[in-house]
């Protein structure tokens, strides 16, 4: 039985969606539960058939045998959630906590100030969390269209843990977008480190077995705020590192892998494992490899440098966009 938490190690968009989707199918968790801020987060997942983009639904939805849940710490946009449940066939196995806060149109309009001030996504997440702190926010239990989805998420998860089942807890955003530990004020409206994600879903620290911190092989950031060693847009383009945000469509700024930042992320999250994504973007000869010994010497040295300098094993490595493009060195 394993309780695993997966969080982003940099500024979001590390490729957590794909890693979570893989673990959700490989490890057969009975519950996959999402913590984090709200629909400001976007995850992209590709399988053999298509590319999925989710903003509210947990990334584990591609495992039809698992129930997917959203913890009470997350603010929910009912329109986006209901649409994703419908579109991705999660009806009947997607549940949210009755104490999830609700984003309304007024939150989205209030977010436009923050868009220009700090580069917010404009999803209404920050203003909704502010209203929650003011004890003014509407709860999911007060919204009729959500009534069929409501449950006691912490009760469900802790019940599964007591029964000896696997549970996967998915974080959103990244460590340095944390309201406490990030590059304030250019941060999101919550703590999004492993401890914060566990609090969002109602799992106590003694119940967690593994904390997997996901790093991309290079660093990207959307919105404003510091990015050490930021490359000129043309250089990022030449290296194949130019990406656009899942939610906002804005270009992502890019820089080399940052060992110092990564070390701090390992510390702040209490990481037991590292997942490294997009290794094929740095080392094209590694594309779609599924075994560690098929990687080039240079790619292996990069992985081993990360393990050495961060004193943490690199266990799950992404070598391409599809969920099956993965090297799993666990066990």
- Looking at beta carbons only, is 3 or 114 nearer to ligand IMP? 114
Q: How many helices (H) and strands (E) does the chain have?
A: 10, 16
- Shortest Cβ 247–Mg ion spacing (Å): 7
Eight-class DSSP state of 251: B
C-alpha–C-alpha distance, residues 112 and 157, integer Å: 36
C-alpha–C-alpha distance, residues 194 and 64, integer Å: 26
- Looking at beta carbons only, is 9 or 42 nearer to Mg ion? 42
Stretch that binds ligand IMP, among 20-28, 96-104, 117-125, 310-318 (CB under 6 A): 117-125
Query: Per CB under 6 A, does 125 bind ligand IMP?
Result: yes
| Torsion-angle region of 164 (φ positive above 0: left; ψ -120 to 50: alpha; else: beta) | left
- Shortest Cβ 184–ligand IMP spacing (Å): 11
Q: Are 212 and 274 in contact (CB under 8 A)?
A: yes
Among 40, 193, 312, 319, indicate the residue that binds ligand IMP (CB under 6 A): 40
Question: In 23-54, which positions are buried (b, 16+ CB within 10 angstroms) versus exposed (e)?
Answer: bbbebebbbbbbbbbbbbbbbbbbeeeeebeb
Give the total of residues touching ligand IMP (CB under 6 A). 22
Query: Per CB under 6 A, does 114 bind ligand IMP?
Result: yes
Query: Per CB under 6 A, does 54 bind ligand IMP?
Result: no
Instruction: Residue 120: name its binding partner from Mg ion, ligand IMP, none (Cβ under 5 to 8 Å by kind).
Output: ligand IMP
Query: Per CB under 6 A, does 178 bind ligand IMP?
Result: no
Q: Are 153 and 72 in contact (CB under 8 A)?
A: yes
276 backbone dihedrals φ, ψ, rounded to 5°: -115, 125
Which listed residue (27, 43, 142, 224) is catalytic?
Answer: 43
Query: Per CB under 6 A, does 188 bind ligand IMP?
Result: yes
Task: Let me know if 43 is a catalytic residue.
Answer: yes
Q: Are 317 and 276 in contact (CB under 8 A)?
A: yes
Among 41, 70, 214, 262, indicate the residue that binds ligand IMP (CB under 6 A): 41
Task: Report how far apart the first and last C-alpha atoms of the chain are (Å, whole number).
Answer: 14
- Looking at beta carbons only, is 42 or 225 nearer to Mg ion? 42
The contact set with Mg ion (CB under 5 A) reads 13, 42, 246
Task: Let me know if 209 is a catalytic residue.
Answer: no
Among 73, 202, 223, 321, indicate the residue that binds ligand IMP (CB under 6 A): 223
Examine residue 185 and say whether the peptide bond preceding it is cis (omega within 30 degrees of 0): yes
Query: Per CB under 6 A, does 129 bind ligand IMP?
Result: no
Interaction site with ligand IMP (CB under 6 A): 11-13, 37, 40-41, 114, 118-121, 123, 125-126, 172-173, 177, 186, 188-189, 222-223
């Amino acid at each position: 039985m394993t309780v695993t938490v997966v969080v982003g190690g940099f500024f979001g968009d590390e490729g957590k969606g794909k890693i979570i989707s893989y673990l959700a199918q490989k490890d057969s968790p009975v519950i996959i539960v999402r913590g984090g801020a709200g629909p400001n987060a976007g995850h992209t997942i590709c399988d053999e058939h298509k590319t999925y983009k989710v903003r509210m639904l947990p990334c584990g939805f591609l495992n039809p045998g698992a129930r997917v849940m959203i913890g009470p710490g997350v603010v929910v946009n009912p329109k986006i959630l209901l649409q994703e449940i419908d579109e991705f066939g999660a009806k009947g196995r997607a549940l949210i906590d009755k104490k999830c806060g609700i984003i309304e149109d007024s939150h989205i309009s209030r977010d436009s100030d923050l868009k220009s001030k700090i580069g917010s996504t404009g999803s209404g997440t920050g203003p909704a969390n502010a209203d929650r702190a003011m004890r003014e926010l509407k709860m999911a239990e007060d919204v009729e269209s959500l009534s069929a989805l409501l449950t006691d998420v912490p009760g469900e998860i802790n019940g599964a843990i007591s029964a000896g089942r696997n549970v996967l807890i998915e974080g959103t955003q990244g460590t340095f977008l944390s309201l406490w530990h990030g590059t304030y004020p250019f941060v999101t409206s919550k703590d999004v480190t492993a401890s914060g994600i566990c609090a969002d879903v109602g799992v106590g620290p003694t119940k967690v077995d593994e904390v997997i911190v996901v790093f991309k092989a290079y660093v990207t950031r959307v919105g404003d705020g510091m990015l050490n060693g930021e490359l000129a847009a043309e250089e990022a383009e030449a290296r194949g590192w130019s990406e656009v945000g899942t939610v906002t469509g804005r270009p992502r700024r890019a820089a080399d892998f940052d060992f110092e930042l990564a070390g701090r992320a390992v510390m702040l999250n209490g990481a037991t494992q590292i997942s490294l994504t997009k290794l094929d973007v740095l080392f094209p000869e590694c594309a779609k490899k599924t075994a560690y010994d098929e990687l080039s010497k240079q790619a292996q040295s990069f992985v081993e440098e990360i393990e050495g300098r961060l004193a943490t094993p690199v266990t799950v490595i992404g070598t391409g966009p599809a969920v099956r493009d993965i090297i799993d060195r666990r066990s």
